[in-house]
């Protein structure tokens, strides 16, 4: 398997769902992980579970990706706990389902804030920390979490889809600047397909409630119908892709968006 021994990772939104699975998969591959999340109890519990399953040295930091001061604190805390930093997973995100004729400015702003501003600040602090003159200074890998929603049109998630397209573009330019300026940081993103986490299950319920599908099961059936692999995604499908992009086996891969969607977006 892929070996991340000695590697030091920060995962945003790591208290539950895909982020929790990514933190576990990174630790299982040998990395030490700091979980960052708004949710303190759940986030600290994930870090404790990593310590008991994979050995001490993991940690938790309370973090709001939309707040620049919180980022400054998080990269210092992570570098301190881990003795460095060379993997950053910008996973925190939110989805508020709405028809374009009904969506409010407040809902739009919330999604732009967490998904675009939060990821852009993550890239900023990740690059500044890992580049040669940074706090950690050894180069590394940033993995951003976009979505299959950036590659197809699905009703009810227009703003979310737009924010995930923005994550894709942020990734490409970040990879370009990192290379051109000699930061030694690879920057990639993945496009997860639908996974029945709190967010994924909520989305299926919401699009049914909006009348776009007859029921949540019908919405899920429509997604599966568009997916050659014939099933929804699983947390481990996404976590394994993140481990790969973080690993030395992906050393010549930067600036890509990797679909991890069973073919839904092809």
Catalytic site positions: 160
Measured CA to CA in angstroms, residue 262 lies from 32, 96, 101, 224 at distances of 29, 24, 31, 9
Nearer CB in complex with ligand NAD: 65/96:
65
Residues of this chain, 118-137, that bind ligand NAD according to CB under 6 A:
118
Helix (H) or strand (E) holding 37: strand 32-37
Nearer CB in complex with ligand NAD: 66/129:
66
Q: Which stretch binds ligand NAD (CB under 6 A): 24-32, 102-110, 188-196, 247-255?
A: 188-196
Pairing of strands 59-62, 8-12: unpaired
Residues 6+ positions from 10 with CB-CB distance below 8 Å: 33, 34, 36, 74, 75, 78, 82, 85, 87, 88, 89, 126
Rounded Cα distance, 131 and 22, in Å: 23
Q: Which stretch binds ligand NAD (CB under 6 A): 33-41, 135-143, 181-189, 217-225?
A: 33-41
- 116 neighbors 94 (Cβ within 8 angstroms): no
Does 63 bind ligand NAD (CB under 6 A)? Our answer is yes
Does 220 bind ligand NAD (CB under 6 A)? Our answer is no
What's the closest the beta carbon of residue 73 comes to ligand NAD, in angstroms? Answer: 12
Does 151 bind ligand NAD (CB under 6 A)? Our answer is no
Structure tokens at 124: 């900023």
Q: Which stretch binds ligand NAD (CB under 6 A): 71-79, 90-98, 128-136, 245-253?
A: 90-98
Among 4, 47, 58, 66, binds ligand NAD (CB under 6 A): 66
Rounded Cα distance, 216 and 73, in Å: 40
Helix (H) or strand (E) holding 186: strand 185-192
Q: Which stretch binds ligand NAD (CB under 6 A): 44-52, 86-94, 170-178, 248-256?
A: 86-94
Among 50, 114, 185, 241, binds ligand NAD (CB under 6 A): 114
Among 178, 197, 227, 247, binds ligand NAD (CB under 6 A): 197
Nearer CB in complex with ligand NAD: 37/86:
37
Instruction: Report which of 72, 62, 166, 50 is spatially closest to residue 112, judged by C-alpha positions.
Output: 166
Rounded Cα distance, 77 and 72, in Å: 9
What's the closest the beta carbon of residue 194 comes to ligand NAD, in angstroms? Answer: 4
The position carrying tokens 């099933």 is 231
Binding site for ligand NAD (CB under 6 A): 12-13, 15-19, 37-39, 63-66, 91-95, 114, 118, 145, 147, 192, 194-195, 197-200
């Amino acid at each position: 398997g892929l070996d991340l021994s000695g590697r030091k990772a920060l995962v945003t939104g790591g208290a539950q769902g895909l982020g929790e699975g990514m933190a576990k998969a990174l630790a299982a591959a040998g990395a030490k992980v700091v979980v960052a999340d708004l949710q303190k109890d759940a986030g600290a519990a994930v870090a404790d579970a990593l310590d008991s399953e994979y050995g001490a040295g993991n940690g938790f930091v309370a973090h709001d990706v939309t707040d620049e001061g919180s980022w400054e604190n998080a990269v210092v805390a992570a570098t301190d706990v881990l003795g460095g930093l060379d993997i950053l997973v910008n996973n925190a995100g939110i989805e508020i389902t709405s028809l374009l004729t009904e969506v409010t400015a407040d809902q739009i702003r919330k999604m732009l804030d967490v998904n675009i501003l939060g990821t852009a600040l993550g890239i900023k602090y990740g690059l500044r920390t890992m580049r040669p003159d940074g706090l950690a200074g050894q180069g590394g890998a940033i993995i951003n979490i976009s979505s299959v929603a950036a590659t197809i049109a699905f009703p009810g998630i227009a703003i979310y889809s737009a924010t995930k397209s923005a994550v894709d573009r942020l990734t490409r330019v970040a990879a370009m600047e990192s290379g051109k300026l000699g930061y030694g940081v690879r920057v990639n993103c993945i496009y997860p397909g639908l996974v029945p986490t709190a967010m994924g299950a909520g989305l299926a319920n919401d699009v049914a409630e909006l009348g776009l599908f007859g029921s949540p099961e019908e919405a899920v059936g429509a997604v599966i119908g568009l997916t050659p692999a014939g099933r929804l995604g699983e947390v481990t499908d996404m976590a394994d892709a993140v481990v790969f992009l973080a690993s030395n086996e992906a050393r010549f891969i930067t600036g890509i968006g990797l679909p991890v969607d069973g073919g839904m977006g092809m």
